[in-house]
């Protein structure tokens, strides 16, 4: 049996790290300029945090959470999403004492037990932006959309568009759900088994099904926008007005509901042309704190799929060079040169010069080959003769020209050449 990573989980190899570093670096810049402070929550959370917040009948709670029972009998889960833990942390640490709206951002892995496919993993990575407080002002809904939108702009992802809808509030959603349920009961035998169950437990989730036959039935389903109460209509109208003000392209998707039970009013997903998965998504969740029995807190947020951005980079052929590749390569010939070189390499590093080597190789040819692969500008060659004379050979890897200089002057010489 060949050992390999668990199904739906993958290694992030050194060749891919520049993609991840770029995304994290740009996310930090966007967070800083929009006044988001970083927060980190544990990978493990009490199961109740998600059972309450996501809904006991949601797919995530029923099918997708990784449960862990500790020796002490605690029921923990590997976090499937980042928002509920932040609300838990907000109340646990009394963050209400800070200025509001409180803007927080996070990054890290999430875990869901689902069927792996393009852009979807069992361990996946997110960058999230949450705005806590703000009295349900529609301007914060747009800020929660604008932040990931600007991040995608900085990452040079083209043809980005926001799919947006309102799922109303608890007051107007009830009437819509009854109408939706009545419509689907007429087609009960035509929908998939999962949707037949959703029809009994959570009718709104019927609109989130990706099965082809269910998608066809959805095209004639009632639209929630026709059932919004006046405050929800006014709120959504303001959101769209602010979207127009900052010129964010959007598409009104009347069947967009998102997969989590805690959303109210604005929900959105962000797409780019040529890919059928959302790169970012989110919405308003004014009742999440109440669902968790912690208090009342208006809030809105978004999450960005890091794996999905990497997938887009690779598919579109984006090249991300290794960050600050070593410009200098040290080559030794013989045991004495190896010993002397070991100390010399550390002196280079202390001087702030990034240097690479292959001490395990002995032949000059093999070491030069590696220096060439690493696209080093200069190679330093130290042999038995050079050790005895306290000199070193500097080879220009582009031209092949060589010169010999005293060892004591090599660091100053390199600094001048690399300017």
CATH classification at residue 406:
3.40.50.800
| pLDDT(292) > 60 | yes
Bridging pattern class, strands 280-284 and 102-111: unpaired
Q: What is the CATH number of the domain that holds 264?
A: 3.30.930.10
- How much of the chain, in percent, has pLDDT values that exceed 70? 95
Whether 164 and 268 map to the same domain: the answer is yes
Q: What predicted TM-score, i.e. pTM, was given to this entire model?
A: 0.84
Residue 339 lies in a domain: yes
Whether 29 and 102 map to the same domain: the answer is yes
Q: What is the DSSP letter of 120?
A: B
Confidence class for position 61, pLDDT limits 50, 70, 90: low
User: Domain end: 287, 315, 343, which one?
Assistant: 315
Edge-to-edge strands, sheet with 75-78:
44-46, 75-78, 66-69
Helix ranges (DSSP H) in 83-211: 83-92, 138-154, 170-185, 193-201
How many domains, the chain? 2
pLDDT (tens digit per residue) in 406-416? 988 888 888 88
**What tokens does 263 get?**
């959303």
What's the pLDDT at 270? 96
pLDDT, mean of residues 10-29: 91
**What tokens does 377 get?**
């500008």
Q: Give strand ranges (E) for 186-278.
A: 250-252, 264-272
114 closest CA partner among 7, 263, 258, 191: 7
In the block, tokens 């200089």 appear at 405
| pLDDT(40) > 80 | yes
Confidence class for position 55, pLDDT limits 50, 70, 90: low
What's the pLDDT at 36? 96
Whether 300 and 364 map to the same domain: the answer is no
Q: Which of 92-106, 144-158, 352-366 has the lowest mean pLDDT?
A: 352-366
- What is the Cα–Cα distance from 20 to 16, expressed in whole angstroms? 7
Residue 1 lies in a domain: no
* Residue 308 burial (C-beta neighbours within 10 Å; 0-12, 13-18, 19+): buried
243 or 99: which leads in pLDDT: 243
What's the pLDDT at 1? 57
Give the DSSP H/E element, type plus range, for residue 79. none
Confidence class for position 260, pLDDT limits 50, 70, 90: low
pLDDT (tens digit per residue) in 218-235? 888 888 899 999 999 999
| pLDDT(57) > 60 | no
Whether 122 and 25 map to the same domain: the answer is yes
Residue 212 lies in a domain: no
- What is the Cα–Cα distance from 54 to 150, expressed in whole angstroms? 28
- Mean pLDDT in the chain? 88
Give the DSSP H/E element, type plus range, for residue 214. helix 212-218
Residue 237 lies in a domain: yes
Q: Which of 56-60, 93-97, 135-139 has the lowest mean pLDDT?
A: 56-60
Residue 282 lies in a domain: yes
User: Domain end: 289, 315, 341, which one?
Assistant: 315
φ and ψ of 48, to 5 deg = -60, -30
Cβ neighbours, 10 Å, residue 188: 10
What is the residue range of 282's domain?
Answer: 17-169+229-315
């Amino acid at each position: 049996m060949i050992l390999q990573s668990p199904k739906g989980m993958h290694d992030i190899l050194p060749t891919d790290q520049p993609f991840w570093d770029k995304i994290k670096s740009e996310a930090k810049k966007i967070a800083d300029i929009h006044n988001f402070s970083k927060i980190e929550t544990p990978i493990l959370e009490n199961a109740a945090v998600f059972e309450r917040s996501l809904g006991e009948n949601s797919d995530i709670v029923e099918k997708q959470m990784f449960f862990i029972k500790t020796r002490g009998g605690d029921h923990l889960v590997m976090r499937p999403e980042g928002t509920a833990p932040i609300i838990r942390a907000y109340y646990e640490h009394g963050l209400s004492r800070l200025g509001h709206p409180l803007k927080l951002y996070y990054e890290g892995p999430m875990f869901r037990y689902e069927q792996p496919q393009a852009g979807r993993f069992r361990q996946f990575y997110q960058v999230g932006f949450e705005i806590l407080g703000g009295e349900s002002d529609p301007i914060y809904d747009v800020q929660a959309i604008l932040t990931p939108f600007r991040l995608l702009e900085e990452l040079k992802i083209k043809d980005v568009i926001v799919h947006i809808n309102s799922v109303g509030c608890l007051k107007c959603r009830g009437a819509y759900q009854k109408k939706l349920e009545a419509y689907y009961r007429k087609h009960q035998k035509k929908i998939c088994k999962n949707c037949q169950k959703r029809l009994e437990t959570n009718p709104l989730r019927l609109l989130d099904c990706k099965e082809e036959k269910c998608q066809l039935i959805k095209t004639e389903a009632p639209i929630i926008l026709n059932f919004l109460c006046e405050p929800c209509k006014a709120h959504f109208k303001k959101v769209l007005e602010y979207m127009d003000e900052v010129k964010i392209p959007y598409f009104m998707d009347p069947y967009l509901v998102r997969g989590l039970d805690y959303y109210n009013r604005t929900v959105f997903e962000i797409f780019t042309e040529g890919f059928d998965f959302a790169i970012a998504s989110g919405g308003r969740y004014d009742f999440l704190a109440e669902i968790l029995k912690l208090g009342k807190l208006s809030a809105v947020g978004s999450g960005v799929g890091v794996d999905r951005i990497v997938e887009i980079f690779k598919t579109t052929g984006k090249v991300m060079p290794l960050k600050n590749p070593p410009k200098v390569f040290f080559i030794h010939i013989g045991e004495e040169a190896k010993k002397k070189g070991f100390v010399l390499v550390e002196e280079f590093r202390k001087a702030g010069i990034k240097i690479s080597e292959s001490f395990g190789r002995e032949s000059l040819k093999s070491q030069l080959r590696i220096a060439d692969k690493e696209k080093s500008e200069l190679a330093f060659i130290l042999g038995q003769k050079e050790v005895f004379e306290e000199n070193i050979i500097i080879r220009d890897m582009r031209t092949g020209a060589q010169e010999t200089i005293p060892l004591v002057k090599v660091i100053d010489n390199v600094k001048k050449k690399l300017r």
